[in-house]
Amino acid sequence: MQGIGHVKVHQYRRVLGRVRTVSVTREGRRWYVILFCDDVPAEPLPPAGGVVGVDVAIASFLTTSAGEHEPNPTCLDRSAGRLAAAQRDLSRAKRGSARRGKTAARVGMISRGVACQG
């Protein structure tokens, strides 16, 4: 990388196609390299042979045409308490202090965790 030199990258997926653009972003203390590719070969899935209808609603996450209900995800419910406590700590910290910086980093870490939950 220009101005930095060689950088180690943890590659978890093969790069398919031709790399067009490389983007380097930072979220909190972590750095991410994003590759945008052209000419990626399409890999179609084999036909499943069945047809199903899906209804996405408010009361339940989804309902299939066979009558099966999938409940709403509760990812945020599990983390909401920790996130709320961290945000309260952040609001009480004095601006410009080292404690506020650490608390802001903790709020960011929890928020990123919530965003990545599936």
- pLDDT over threshold 70, residue 109: yes
Nearest to 108 by CA among 92, 76, 88, 86: 86
Share of the chain above pLDDT 70, in %: 99
pTM, rounded to two decimals: 0.60
User: Alpha-carbon distance 118 to 104, whole Å?
Assistant: 24
Q: Can you tell me which residue has the tokens 């031709």?
A: 18
Q: Which tens digit of pLDDT belongs to each residue from 35-90?
A: 999 998 888 989 888 888 888 877 888 888 888 888 887 777 778 899 999 999 99
